[in-house]
């Protein structure tokens, strides 16, 4: 009995001590503060990380760790530069026709995900279209460097290259993690999906280190849990593709309110060059081999940033009718199309996110 009483007393004392130890620690812990920082040297675009940490040092650490991950992905997905000791996309494009090349798991995962979409019949975004895309890339770069001499690629060259864009000729071996090109002239360009994939790939790290964050990779946004300032959602702007025609200066045409979702926009105003007074942008229609003129921007909202990036490019080259059919048949995916005539079309569930539709009473 005596012993029992003693141990009970010890237990209570231990509890008290533990509580006392916790109180000052809890009181001295600084509150969460929102920080934001941006980088311009990765993925050839602007990367912004916004998030809550208790100290600025914690934020800096999270930011640097995130950038280190993104830098690695940028090198792996780079189709135009090689890096010592890394079998990146540039290396693959030069050597995968000679025999199977073992590649980093990040690259294998992205190529095989894209191949699954191809096998499902989704072919508007074809990362095996590198032969065609690299011609446009070359002419665009030359045209930007010397605008007076800007030229369009010859149609015959595009047509000849398009004979080498069949994804079935990209042979993957999941066990050995290799890629092999059965067509020696086929090449890959993952520009249409790399930023989305990268956004998804840093999420586990960000979720572990911040209670709430938003990351943007050049128009490719993932919004985590709601901000800690009492708002139910993060507000993300949908850019106006034609700010000058619409009075000028207005950067955003609309706003989406989201959390734990991604919003990705593909537009004809991001990357383009001008030939004879006409703009030629960077999203190529696999049917015409020319920049698609069906849309001026397409915005996708869903959980996966990889899927959103893939679909924003896909819908950009599909007709509105085909795009609508595709999106309405997918669970948890919404889209907003902006057409060249200035009109907009939203998928049936877009009203829950899009502010203009909410204000118009289009959704609860
Ligand atoms: P952004 O890079 O501006 O976010 P996208 O996600 O739509 O835009 O990707 C455009 C990039 O994808 C181009 O720069 C090019 O490398 C590649 N691309 C263009 N058209 C296609 C296509 N039809 N299929 C696959 N990749 C494409
Ligand atoms: Mg895309």
Return the structure tokens found at 134. 């690299």
Measured between alpha carbons, how far is 65 from 70 in angstroms, rounded to an integer? Answer: 9
Mean pLDDT to the nearest integer, 86-98 = 98
Residue 17 in this model has a pLDDT that exceeds 80: no
If we measure between CA atoms, which residue out of 98, 288, 293, 306 comes closest to residue 190? 306
If we measure between CA atoms, which residue out of 36, 26, 87 comes closest to residue 63? 36
Q: What is the phi/psi pair of residue 276, to 5°?
A: 50, 45
For residues 165 and 186, the answer to whether their CB atoms sit within 8 Å is: yes
Half-sphere exposure of 34 (CA within 13 A, CB side): 10
The 10s digit of each residue's pLDDT in 306-351 is 999 999 999 999 999 999 999 999 999 999 999 999 999 999 999 9
Return the structure tokens found at 295. 């849309």
Confidence at residue 261, expressed as pLDDT on a 0 to 100 scale: 98
- Atom of ligand 1 lying closest to residue 312 CA: 7
The 10s digit of each residue's pLDDT in 35-86 is 999 999 999 999 999 999 999 999 999 999 999 999 999 999 999 999 999 9
- Atom of ligand 1 lying closest to residue 266 CA: 7
Residue 363 in this model has a pLDDT that exceeds 50: no
Confidence at residue 25, expressed as pLDDT on a 0 to 100 scale: 52
Instruction: Measure 7 CA to ligand 2 centroid, in angstroms.
Output: 65
Residue 182 in this model has a pLDDT that exceeds 60: yes
Q: What is the phi/psi pair of residue 7, to 5°?
A: -70, -35
For residues 82 and 92, the answer to whether their CB atoms sit within 8 Å is: no
Confidence at residue 349, expressed as pLDDT on a 0 to 100 scale: 96
The 10s digit of each residue's pLDDT in 252-310 is 999 999 999 999 999 998 889 999 999 999 999 999 999 999 999 999 999 999 999 99
Whether 192 lines ligand 1, by a CB cut-off of 6 Å, is yes
- Atom of ligand 1 lying closest to residue 284 CA: 20
Confidence at residue 142, expressed as pLDDT on a 0 to 100 scale: 97
Whether 284 lines ligand 1, by a CB cut-off of 6 Å, is yes
The ligand minimizing its distance to the Cα of 266 is 1
| Residue whose CA lies nearest to ligand 1 atom number 5 | 192
Residue 13 in this model has a pLDDT that exceeds 90: no
Whether 153 lines ligand 1, by a CB cut-off of 6 Å, is no
Confidence at residue 270, expressed as pLDDT on a 0 to 100 scale: 82
The ligand minimizing its distance to the Cα of 218 is 1
Domains of the chain with CATH codes: 89-181 (1.10.3980.10), 233-360 (3.10.520.10)
| Residue whose CA lies nearest to ligand 1 atom number 15 | 191
Q: Output 25 or 46, whichever has higher pLDDT.
A: 46
Whether 318 lines ligand 1, by a CB cut-off of 6 Å, is no
Whether 125 lines ligand 1, by a CB cut-off of 6 Å, is yes
∠ CA 202-240-194, rounded to 5°: 25
- The dihedral built from the CA positions of residue 98, 100, 104 and 110, taken in this order, carries a sign that is positive
How many residues appear in the chain?
364
The 10s digit of each residue's pLDDT in 220-239 is 999 999 999 999 999 999 99
For residues 7 and 1, the answer to whether their CB atoms sit within 8 Å is: no
Question: Tokens 């790939």 correspond to what residue?
Answer: 201
Alpha carbon distances (Å) from 73 to 89, 173, 189, 196, 327? 11, 21, 14, 11, 29
Q: Output 360 or 156, whichever has higher pLDDT.
A: 156
| Residue whose CA lies nearest to ligand 1 atom number 19 | 283
Q: Cα 12 to chain center, whole Å?
A: 54
Whether 165 lines ligand 1, by a CB cut-off of 6 Å, is no
Confidence at residue 362, expressed as pLDDT on a 0 to 100 scale: 47
- Note the pTM of the prediction, 2 decimals: 0.90
Whether 187 lines ligand 1, by a CB cut-off of 6 Å, is no
Measured between alpha carbons, how far is 306 from 110 in angstroms, rounded to an integer? Answer: 9
């Amino acid at each position: 009995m005596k012993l029992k009483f003693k141990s009970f007393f010890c237990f209570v004392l231990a509890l008290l001590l533990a509580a006392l130890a916790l109180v000052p620690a809890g009181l001295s812990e600084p509150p969460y503060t929102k920080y934001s920082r941006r980088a311009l040297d990765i993925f050839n675009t602007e990367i912004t990380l916004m998030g809550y940490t208790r100290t600025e040092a914690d934020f800096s650490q999270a930011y640097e760790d995130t950038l280190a991950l993104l830098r690695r992905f940028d090198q792996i997905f780079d189709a135009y530069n090689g890096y010592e000791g890394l079998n990146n996309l540039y290396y693959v494009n030069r050597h995968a026709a000679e025999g199977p090349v073992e590649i980093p798991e990040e690259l294998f995962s992205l190529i095989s995900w894209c191949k699954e979409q191809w096998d499902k019949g989704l072919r508007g975004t074809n990362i095996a279209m590198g032969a065609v895309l690299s011609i446009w890339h070359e002419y665009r770069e030359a045209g930007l460097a010397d605008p007076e001499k800007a030229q369009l690629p010859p149609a015959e060259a595009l047509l000849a290259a398009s004979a080498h864009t069949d994804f079935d000729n990209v042979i993957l071996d999941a066990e050995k993690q290799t890629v092999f090109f059965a067509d020696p002239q086929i090449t890959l360009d993952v520009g249409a999906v790399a930023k989305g994939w990268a956004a998804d790939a840093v999420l586990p790290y960000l979720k572990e280190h911040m209670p709430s964050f938003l990351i943007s990779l050049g128009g490719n946004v993932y919004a985590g849990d709601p901000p800690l300032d009492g708002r139910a959602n993060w507000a993300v702007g949908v850019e106006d593709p034609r700010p000058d025609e619409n009075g000028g200066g207005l950067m955003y045409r609309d706003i989406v309110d989201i959390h734990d979702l991604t919003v990705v926009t593909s537009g004809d105003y991001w990357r383009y060059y001008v030939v004879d007074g006409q703009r030629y942008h960077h999203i190529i229609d696999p049917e015409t081999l020319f920049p698609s003129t069906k849309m001026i921007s397409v915005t996708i909202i869903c959980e996966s940033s990889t899927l959103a990036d893939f679909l924003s490019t896909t819908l950009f080259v599909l007709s509105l009718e085909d795009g609508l059919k595709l999106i309405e048949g997918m669970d948890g995916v919404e889209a907003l199309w902006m057409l060249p005539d200035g009109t907009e079309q939203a998928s049936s569930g877009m009203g829950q996110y899009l502010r203009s539709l909410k204000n118009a009473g289009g959704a609860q």
